[in-house]
Amino acid sequence: MSRTTAAIAASATVFALLLAGCGDDSSSAGSPAASTTPAPSFQVEASKAGMFVVSYRNAFPKLAQGRDDAAVAAVLNHSCSEIKAGKSEADTIATIMKAAKNGDTAATTEEATAVYQMSTLMC
């Protein structure tokens, strides 16, 4: 499956979960990846963050590998912080790319755009 197809599938999954009202608040074991991105100023409610984490892990396994749920949810919180602050889509996508970076694995523009689209539904 291509990365773009996975990103679209993730967006569809999040949308379906939002409509169904389901969520997963469980934590997974693992150490969070080091991030140079400052802490987000906005925190998404736990049920929405749980839905995001499940979708993100399924769509972007390399970006999620070795990161705990809080580190993955921080990607959503960063994007929501930018959206709530009125930042442009391009600026928000750039922030998502920084927050999603996992070691040597960086998010593509398509992946960051998919995260942005999911975020606009969840923020």
Residue by residue, pLDDT tens for the chain (123 residues) are 555 555 555 555 554 444 444 444 443 334 444 445 566 667 788 999 999 999 999 999 999 999 999 999 999 999 999 999 999 999 999 999 999 999 999 999 999 999 999 999 998
| Per-residue pLDDT, 31 | 40
| Per-residue pLDDT, 38 | 62
Q: Global pTM? A: 0.68
Q: What angle do CA 63, 86, 56 make, to 5 degrees?
A: 20
Neighbours of 34 (CB within 10 A): 9
| Per-residue pLDDT, 32 | 41
- Is residue 123 within 8 Å of residue 44, measured between CB atoms? yes
